[in-house]
């Protein structure tokens, strides 16, 4: 399997044309960035978490993005309700298990959510992906420690168990599904100094899933676009403050040429 700039670009055009509605139940820290990244891509984000309405929102959405970054009991209940409804309606789900492994509560919540419905994509850093599989692993907060072979092994286990694509973000992003492994080498080190870049990556998975029926391709395309927009932004930035805004500008004005010239993805 080979990723092509044409296929990435075709998804981007579809997003800009269709303006898919993406329902996010995500964390307080990144809501603003996530909404802005989606708007910059041409998608239409909705943030809604009340038990009274999540099912109604899911029903009109083209994808559901669940992110446990600042979880609490009532939010987790709403995540479950939304995932159940998405499952019934066949709406693709992205799960970002932020901080899995850092606390028992997070690891356990991820297991509960996964028992409600299988996501189309799980996206996390190496520590988080490993923690879901090996519940004994203690991770350090929400930042990645590792994106090694053990993380890819864990991703394969998760992918097989839930029939989903698993993205392992790091210096190299891996997308694992069935026997396939994609490697995306786009991106820039400075992106790790902006909060919520991982969360944005998960959100973009939701955006691409809403226009591309191939889950594996959608996830890889999201990683490619994240990485290229990050590179374009970092090259114009003096630090993580300016990177954050240039990143949104880059998503907004992304061209096919930039993708052709920069894309480094193999499968």
Q: List the one residue from 14, 18, 240, 267 that touches its own copies (CB under 8 A).
A: 240
Q: How far apart are CA 169 and CA 158, in angstroms?
A: 15
Report residue 189 as tokens: 């080190």
Q: Which is nearer to its own copies, 12 or 175 (CB)?
A: 12
Q: Which of residues 195-224 bind its own copies (CB under 8 A)?
A: 195-196
What is the per-residue binding string for its own copies in 55-84, x denoting contact by CB under 8 A? -xx--x--------xxxxxx----------
Residue 150 beta carbon to its own copies: minimum distance, rounded to whole angstroms: 21
Q: Is 5 helix (H, G, I), strand (E, B) or coil?
A: helix
Q: In what order do the strands lie in the sheet with 265-266?
A: 44-47, 21-25, 63-67, 93-96, 121-125, 165-169, 173-177, 180-184, 265-266
Decide if residue 89 touches its own copies (CB under 8 A).
no
Decide if residue 9 touches its own copies (CB under 8 A).
no
Instruction: Identify the residue whose tokens are 């309700």.
Output: 81
Helices (H), the chain: 5-18, 31-41, 54-60, 73-89, 104-116, 126-133, 149-162, 197-209, 215-235, 240-252, 256-262
Residue 16 beta carbon to its own copies: minimum distance, rounded to whole angstroms: 11
Q: List the one residue from 1, 4, 53, 111 that touches its own copies (CB under 8 A).
A: 53
Decide if residue 267 touches its own copies (CB under 8 A).
no
Stretch that binds its own copies, among 111-119, 157-165, 194-202, 209-217 (CB under 8 A): 194-202
Instruction: Report how many residues bind its own copies under the rule CB under 8 A.
Output: 64
Residue 169 beta carbon to its own copies: minimum distance, rounded to whole angstroms: 16
Decide if residue 143 touches its own copies (CB under 8 A).
yes
Decide if residue 193 touches its own copies (CB under 8 A).
yes
Q: List the one residue from 5, 15, 49, 175 that touches its own copies (CB under 8 A).
A: 49
Stretch that binds its own copies, among 81-89, 127-135, 188-196, 217-225 (CB under 8 A): 188-196
Long-range CB pairs of 257-262 (<8 Å, 24+ gap) are 258/228, 258/232, 259/5, 259/8, 259/9, 259/224, 259/225, 259/228, 260/5, 262/186, 262/228, 262/231, 262/232
Stretch that binds its own copies, among 80-88, 96-104, 149-157, 219-227 (CB under 8 A): 96-104
Rounded to whole angstroms, what are the CA distances from 208 to 147, 218, 224? 23, 5, 11
Decide if residue 36 touches its own copies (CB under 8 A).
yes
């Amino acid at each position: 399997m080979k990723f092509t700039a044409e296929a990435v670009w075709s998804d981007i055009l579809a997003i800009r044309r269709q303006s898919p509605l993406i329902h996010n139940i995500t964390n307080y820290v990144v809501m603003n960035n996530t909404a802005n990244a989606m708007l910059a891509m041409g998608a239409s984000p909705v943030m809604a978490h009340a038990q009274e309405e999540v099912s109604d929102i899911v029903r009109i959405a083209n994808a559901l993005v669940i992110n446990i970054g600042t979880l609490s009991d009532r939010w987790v209940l709403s995540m479950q309700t939304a995932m159940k409804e998405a499952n019934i309606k066949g709406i693709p789900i992205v799960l970002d298990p932020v901080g899995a492994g850092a606390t028992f509560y997070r690891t356990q919540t991820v297991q509960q959510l996964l028992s409600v419905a299988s996501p189309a994509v799980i996206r996390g850093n190496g520590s988080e992906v490993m923690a879901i599989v090996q519940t004994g692993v203690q991770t350090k907060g929400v930042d990645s420690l590792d994106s090694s072979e053990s993380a890819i092994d864990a991703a394969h286990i998760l992918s097989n168990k839930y029939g989903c694509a698993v993205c392992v973000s790091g210096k190299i992003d891996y997308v694992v599904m069935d026997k396939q492994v994609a490697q995306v080498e786009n991106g820039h080190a400075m992106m790790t100094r902006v909060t919520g870049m991982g969360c944005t990556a998960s959100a973009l998975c939701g955006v691409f899933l809403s226009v591309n029926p191939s889950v594996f391709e959608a996830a890889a395309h999201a990683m490619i676009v994240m990485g290229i927009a990050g590179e374009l932004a970092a090259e114009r930035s003096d630090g993580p403050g300016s990177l954050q805004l240039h990143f949104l500008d880059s998503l907004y004005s992304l061209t096919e040429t930039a993708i052709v010239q920069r894309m480094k993805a193999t499968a």
